[in-house]
């Protein structure tokens, strides 16, 4: 289940506070049989306090508890004027709000640290899993990490900020080729062109990769990218022949990032291209291999940002000449197999 975004969390906290205040104000207060509803309504203030502690951190918890306290003090001063004993009892409720706030903030902080440690351990394990493939397919050293970084750069420029979505994009891109672990060496490492039967074996790797991570709950979002990373926007890809928006957005972002890295690094079948050459080839496949919107975003990202990311894995990305018209390199286009 996708985690609630930060704005949504704030909205939930604010909404629960306002709802509690409205119910509390509407419930009758006074020495009669319905007063019990007023007392029960007052307990609703614990909801925004606990939600703030769990979702927004200690500062937000203090702010919400202070807001609750202000509302309760105003209520006690107005509705119980002249009854000091009742006011004292009502105000004593404030101590319980602050106690719950302090305990909730401490517990959720501890839980958050434990979760961060577990996530870091998962990350190290997945990094090692991705690196294990590079031990077999040495010419792709650093490829998975670059493609992850390129995919997230495109996501940045599309305004994708949800933490859980970005996490799935990152893991999916890093592990996109993990299914190649199941491809025999005589096919995976063959230096020349693959024959028809060998291509069919190679084309199994998206499904093998998806099956490999399919039982890992926190990689559920990444699984879709792994399965769809060789789909084409025009429907000519594999394994399911998806087209257009039927292809998961993460896979459409990845397709451009993957092609860019394959074009700009040396491979057994081709030399590395410059940024401008690769950009022209990608632009030429706008609307066929690649989502037009993603290509447009790719073209708006400055060369210097791509160069910095490539340098993280010791790739020297040359800028090249000014971009030629899209058809200028059509004769040189080749299938990107990575």
Q: Give the dihedral of Cα atoms 100, 103, 108, 113; nearest 10 deg.
A: 170
Which runs of consecutive H residues, i.e. helices, occur in 176-302? 185-188, 196-202, 205-213, 220-228, 249-263, 275-284, 292-300
CA distance 262 to 267: 8
Residues making up the chain, counted from first to last: 338
Given 3-state DSSP classes, what are the helix, strand and coil percentages for the chain, each rounded to the nearest 5?
Answer: 70, 0, 30
- Say whether 290 sits in a helix, a strand or coil: strand
- Say whether 270 sits in a helix, a strand or coil: strand
Its pTM surpasses 0.85: no
How many C-beta atoms surround the C-beta of residue 160 within 10 A?
Answer: 15
* pLDDT for position 41: 83
What's the rounded mean pLDDT across residues 239-266? 94
CA distance 325 to 284: 9
Average of per-residue pLDDT values in the chain: 85
* pLDDT for position 30: 65
% of the chain at pLDDT higher than 70? 87
Confidence of residue 2 (pLDDT cuts 50, 70, 90): very low
CA distance 144 to 315: 13
Q: Please list, in sequence order, all residues whose beta carbon lies within 8 angstroms of the beta carbon of residue 26, skipping any fewer than 6 positions away.
A: 41
Give the residues across from 320 on adjacent strands: none
**Structural domains present in the chain:** 6-112 (no CATH), 137-332 (1.10.3210.10)
Q: What is the pLDDT of residues 258-292, one digit of tens each?
A: 999 999 988 766 788 999 999 999 999 999 999 99
Q: What is the pLDDT of residues 55-69, one digit of tens each?
A: 998 999 999 999 999
Instruction: Report yes or no: 233 and 287 within 8 Å, Cβ to Cβ.
Output: yes
Q: What is the pLDDT of residues 18-62, one digit of tens each?
A: 998 888 888 776 666 667 787 788 889 999 999 999 999 899 999
């Amino acid at each position: 289940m996708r985690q609630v975004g930060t704005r949504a969390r704030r909205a939930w906290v604010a909404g629960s506070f306002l709802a509690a205040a409205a119910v509390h104000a509407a419930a009758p207060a006074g020495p009669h049989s319905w007063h019990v509803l007023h007392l029960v309504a007052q307990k609703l203030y614990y909801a925004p306090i606990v939600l703030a502690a769990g979702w927004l951190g200690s500062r937000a918890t203090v702010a919400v508890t202070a807001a609750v306290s202000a509302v309760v003090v105003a209520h006690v001063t107005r509705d119980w004027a002249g009854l000091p004993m009742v006011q004292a009892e009502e105000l004593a409720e404030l101590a319980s709000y602050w106690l719950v706030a302090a305990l909730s903030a401490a517990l959720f902080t501890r839980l958050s640290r434990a979760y961060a440690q577990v996530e870091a351990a998962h990350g190290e394990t997945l990094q090692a899993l991705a690196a294990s493939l590079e031990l077999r397919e040495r010419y792709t050293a650093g490829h998975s990490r670059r493609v992850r970084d390129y995919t997230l750069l495109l996501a940045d420029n599309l305004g994708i900020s949800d933490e859980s979505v970005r996490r799935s994009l990152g893991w999916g891109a890093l592990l996109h080729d993990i299914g190649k672990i199941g491809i025999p060496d005589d096919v995976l490492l063959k230096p020349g062109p693959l024959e028809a039967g060998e291509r069919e074996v190679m084309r199994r790797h998206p499904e093998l990769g998806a099956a490999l991570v399919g039982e890992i709950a926190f990689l559920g979002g990444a699984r879709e990218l792994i399965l769809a990373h060789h789909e084409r926007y025009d429907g000519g890809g594999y394994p399911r022949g998806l087209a257009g928006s039927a292809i998961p957005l993460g896979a459409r972002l990845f397709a451009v990032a993957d092609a860019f890295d394959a074009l700009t690094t040396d491979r057994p079948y081709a030399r590395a291209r410059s940024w401008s050459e690769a950009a022209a080839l990608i632009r030429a496949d706008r609307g066929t291999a690649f989502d037009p919107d993603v290509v447009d975003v790719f073209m708006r990202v400055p060369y210097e940002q791509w160069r910095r990311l490539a340098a993280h894995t010791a790739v020297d990305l040359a800028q090249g000449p000014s971009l030629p018209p899209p058809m200028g390199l059509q004769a040189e286009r080749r299938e990107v197999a990575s």
